[in-house]
Structure 1
Amino acid sequence: MKVVRFHAPGDVRIEEAAEPTPGPADVKIRVRACSTCGTDVKIFNFGHHHIVPPRVMGHEIAGEVVEVGSDVSGWQPGDRVQVIAAIPCGRCAECRRGRMTVCPNQVSMGYHFDGGFAEYMVVPHNVLDVDGLNRIPDGLSYAEASVAEPLACVLNGQNLAAVGDGDDVVVIGSGPIGCLHVRLARARGAARVFLADLNRERLDLAADLVQPDARIHAGETDVVDAVLKLTEGRGADVVITAAAAGAAQEQAVQMAAREGRISFFGGLPKDKPIIALDSNLVHYRELTIVGANGSSPQHNKEALRLIADGAVPVNDLITHRLPLDRALDAFGIVARGEAIKVTVEP
């Protein structure tokens, strides 16, 4: 079978590999769709401290069960499934408290285990142990199901920021995560959602699809000033920084309304993690700043339901579908910002 395997930064190869064999507590699937994200591009260019090469990449996974280990019950060949990416241990103090997104023992598909850029892969028992293998609802395509993983992360972020009825929401960053934030905020009852980005072409591509109440081109307009004008001087109830930019985080604090909530959703580069924070704004406006890190198995289940119910449509966000032997092209398309979501279909 063919796989996309990371060997070293800048050295990712499409190569032949033997089909994997599941252990007694594992499940083997035929991968039908594995979507790409900016993290895949980062791994391609720089590697990752959790990846010991060679490693098959890919963590936004949907497929069909083809073989079940002897100790596994409840699954059979032909079942259509989505696989979580971040795998909590289920046993530590944080997991026992229901805080699975911050499990210190977390492992991940495509990092610690071979991932979904392959014709076949093994879903390890670690996933099954935390109920992380999910049935794809009838009528939902594999490609759409693969987007449940990033939507699960978005869901976690909006839960933490308490996005809800009547909110004015600003999303900074118009990539696939930004698009999902716009659609989920609408599904949660936000009154208005504004989308901002520095890149005009990317902003227009995204905004034409998700139709925010206003698009703000940060390359031509002061974002804080634009948001204040759009909100009659109040500021936004929720600001979500879906971009790896310290300036966006600083602006988020400045544009937040009284008792506003700010989600630092996008992490910053490791060599530039420090921002200038006007703590008096936080103090006097009673602002809340929250982080957001990944998702739990339960978030994945909820994300699948939201997609299947039509509350958060994702099919039109998949702008490119490529075969496995063009996976490296997929990384290039993502890196150049030419797509919203690129899905690899082995």
Structure 2
Amino acid sequence: MKVARFHAPGDIRVEDAPEPSPGPGEIKIRVRNCSTCGTDVKIFKHGHHHIRPPRVMGHEIAGEIAEVGAGVTGWAPGDRVQVIAAIPCGQCEECRRGRMTVCPNQESMGYHYDGGFAEYTIVPAKVMAVGGLNRIPEGVGFAEASVAEPLACVLNGQELARVGDGDDVVIVGSGPIGCLHVRLARSRGAGRVFLADINPERLTMAADLVRPDEAISGRDVDVVDEVLKLTGGRGADVVITAAASGAAQQQAVQMAARQGRISFFGGLPKDDPFIALDSNLVHYRELTIVGANGSSPRHNARALELIATGAVPVGDLITHRIPLGEVLAGIDIVSRGTAIKVTVEP
């Protein structure tokens, strides 16, 4: 079978590999779609400390069961399934307390285990043990189901930031994650949703799809000033930084309303993780700043429901579909920000 393996930074190869067989407690799936994201770009450029090459990449996985391993019950060949990316251990103190997104023993598809940039992949027993394999609802395609994983991460972020009825929400970053944030905020009852970016071309492309109440180009205006104008000087109830930008995080604090909630959704580069924070704004405005780290199996299951019911449409966000042999071109498209969502179809 064909796979796309990471060997070293700048070195991803599409090559032949033996077709895998499932061990006890495992399931083999025929991958139908594995979507790409900014993390794949970072791995391609810089590697990752959890990846020991060669490793098959890809963590936004949907497909159909081809074979079940010994001891697996309740699943059969032909079942259409979506796979979690982040795998909590299910046993540690955090997992027992229901905090699976911050499991210290967390592993991941495409990092610790071979991922979905392949014709076939194995769902590890650890995924099955935490309920990390989901049935794809009727009417949801494989490509849409693969977007459940990033939507699950967005759902975790908005739950932590308590996005709700009547909120003015600002989302900084108009990539696929930003677009999902816009649509999820609307489904959660937000009053107005504003989308900001410093890339005017990508902002226009995203705004044409998800229709925010206002698209704010950071290239043309001061984002903080514009948000204050749009909210009558009050600021936003929720600000979500869906970009790996320290400047965006600093601006988020400045544009938040009193008792506003700020989600540092996008992580910063590990060699530059510090920002200048006006802690008096946090103090006197009673701001809440929260992080957001991936998703849990529960979030993945809920994300599929949101897609299936139409509460959060994702099909039109998939702007590029490419075969496995062109995965490097797909990663380049993501890197240049000229697409919303790119999916690989092995």
3-state SS in 2 of match to 1:32: strand
Structure 1 stretches lacking a partner, 5+ long: none
Deviations 1:297-334 (A, max 9, x none): 00000000000000000000000000111111100110
Deviations 1:148-170 (A, max 9, x none): 00000000000000000000000
3-state SS in 2 of match to 1:40: helix
The answer for the alignment partner of 2:101 in structure 1 is 101
Q: How many pairs align? A: 346
The answer for the alignment partner of 2:262 in structure 1 is 262
The answer for the alignment partner of 1:344 in structure 2 is 344
Deviation at 1:271, TM superposition (A): 1.1
The answer for the alignment partner of 2:332 in structure 1 is 332
The answer for the alignment partner of 2:150 in structure 1 is 150
CA distance in 2, matches of 1:285, 1:140: 43
The answer for the alignment partner of 1:313 in structure 2 is 313
The answer for the alignment partner of 2:30 in structure 1 is 30
Q: Which amino acid aligns with 1:176?
A: P
1:195-344 to 2 correspondence within 5 Å? 195-344=195-344
1:17-166 to 2 correspondence within 5 Å? 17-166=17-166
CA distance in 2, matches of 1:223, 1:70: 56
Deviation at 1:70, TM superposition (A): 1.4
Deviations 1:274-295 (A, max 9, x none): 1011111111110000000000
3-state SS in 2 of match to 1:335: helix
In angstroms, what is the RMSD of aligned CA positions? 0.4
The answer for the alignment partner of 1:189 in structure 2 is 189
3-state SS in 1 of match to 2:283: helix
Deviation at 1:216, TM superposition (A): 0.4
Q: Which amino acid aligns with 2:117?
A: F
3-state SS in 2 of match to 1:121: strand
Deviation at 1:43, TM superposition (A): 0.6
Greater displacement, 269-278 / 26-35: 269-278
Q: Which amino acid aligns with 2:13?
A: R
CA distance in 1, matches of 2:139, 2:245: 38
3-state SS in 1 of match to 2:121: strand
Q: Matched residues, percent identical?
A: 78
Deviations 1:201-236 (A, max 9, x none): 010010010000000000110000000000011100
The 4+ residue runs of structure 1 with deviation greater than 3 A are none
3-state SS in 1 of match to 2:272: coil
CA distance in 1, matches of 2:253, 2:218: 16
CA distance in 1, matches of 2:178, 2:266: 10
CA distance in 2, matches of 1:190, 1:147: 22
Q: Which amino acid aligns with 1:220?
A: D
Q: What TM-score comes out, normalization by structure 1 length? A: 1.00
Deviation at 1:83, TM superposition (A): 0.1
Deviations 1:70-94 (A, max 9, x none): 1100100000000000000000000
3-state SS in 1 of match to 2:64: strand
Q: Which amino acid aligns with 2:12?
A: V
